[in-house]
Structure 1
Amino acid sequence: MSETFKIDETVTIGASIVKYRVESGPYLGPGGTAFYVVSDPARTVFRTAYADAMHRPTPVFEAGGTVKIDGGTHTLLAGPFDNGTGYTWWAIQDASGAQLSDGQHVMTDYQPPAPAPETFEYAGVAYEVGATYKDREGDRWTLEELPVDASQSYVWRLNGRTMAWESTALLVERYGPLVKVEA
């Protein structure tokens, strides 16, 4: 028994990566085989496709994201790779640090990689929003929000207290260098 597809659903046919849109169907073809009418995304080329050859496109994963395999969380290291038969696999790492490979078809609950932190550059140094830095006197400063420029104030907290008068330029000039520390 073949899958049922909905109108306007995106599909691929056979081992091809070309995406088609389901226009209508299913219809009963020769020998009782179900088929659909599909089109290219621009709806300029129409054709028929047997339901048994149609597939929902493989979700787009990205290296650095995580997936579940048999209940365990794994990090995607590299991929996707295709062995030439349409089998898509990834190099992955499990929670213990062991590196292996597995097919994308067994991966569930994909979570994209964490976004890169927001940073602000001043005098050739990148400061990360939310990060804590230690000044030359040992005080801890936290960059609260991304400043528009180095003269903007209201962005730093000293040992948990907002220092509204401090701009990045003034802070670095008076107390620098600022060294990033673990919070």
Structure 2
Amino acid sequence: MSETFEVGQKVRHGSFDEDGEIKFGPFRKAGTYLTGYYLVDFGDGACRETRGTWLSAIPEPPKFAIGDKVRLPYGAREGSLVAGPFRSRHSGRTFWVMETADGKHEAPSEVNLTKVTEPAPIEVGDRVRVLKDDPVVCTGAYVGKIGIVQQVGGCRRKPLTYRLDFGDGDVWWVEDVERVEAAQDEDVYTHAGVTYDLTATYRDRDGDDWTFKRFGDEVRGGMNGTAPLANTRTLDSVVAAYGPLTRI
């Protein structure tokens, strides 16, 4: 058993099999020469005087593991943990060995590391935006459009991965997508089965460029650099007069 603990450390009493937290110590017991005592809260809110030799540390679960993707705040550098954790001889701090993308290594303190979480994989039923469509047939026509994933994998033509339903019977295989979160709904608008990204620029069949903005329940457009206003043409009328619109 360890005899030295820090305030806030989780401990277990060896005789009574109780878990508690160090609140104060170490100190010498009043009226004696006995040292190494602590005040421990065993969960009842009342601290009890307990000798360190009767306690053992409860190990905290490690914050990281070898193989974790991590980021450093300075320079926004990222890498993978390849060794650790270690305890510094000089500072007592915990550090790891991190390997960056260029194959170099450094030993940052654990307190400076942030785990890089990988996005959840795209699944059937997800609402997604097309990043790359069919490079042979579509060549960008579906880029920016939003659809529902019908199938992941299984297409005979590589590298097409996702089969999407764009509404109104329009279904196609595409190469790469990103999930559209609920918070992004205000930035999209669906008309006649096609979902438009209101943060993007579109080109009509005459070669004019359009941007769009939501005004209440309506989406209105501005042409060739003119900002959309509450009294400019609606997206619906632009599509009817000059469609189809292609994201650029």
Q: TM-score, normalised by structure 2?
A: 0.37
Rg larger for: 2
With CA pairs under 8 Å and 6+ residues apart, which has the higher RCO, 1 or 2?
1
TM superposition score normalised by structure 1? 0.46
